[in-house]
Amino acid sequence: MESGETLTYVLTVKHNAGFLLSKLCLLDEAAMVIYPLEAATFKFAVLAIRRVERVHCEHCGVLVGLLKLPRHMKKVHGVRTTT
């Protein structure tokens, strides 16, 4: 799995896989499963993988989700963006 610094993953996982959040997990994108490293037999079907791109704000350099950038611009810098 390729994961750059500017990429974060939004996963839709079947069942209640909330306990996975506190564990180190492996995501198998090809097989669409995710499983904790310490218990690889517990595999959870991943229903959807959505990559959310993040960008550095050109004004303050903070890392902001692409979708949240317009709001950040307006709220923090008072800049209106066309997107």
Q: Does 57 bind Zn ion (CB under 5 A)?
A: yes
Q: Which residue number, 49 or 55, has a Cβ lying nearer to Zn ion?
A: 55
- Under rule CB under 5 A, residue 60 binds Zn ion: yes
55 is a site residue for Zn ion (CB under 5 A): no
Q: How many residues bind Zn ion (CB under 5 A)?
A: 4
DSSP 18: G
Count other C-beta atoms under 10 Å from residue 46's C-beta: 19
Residues that bind Zn ion (CB under 5 A): 57, 59-60, 76
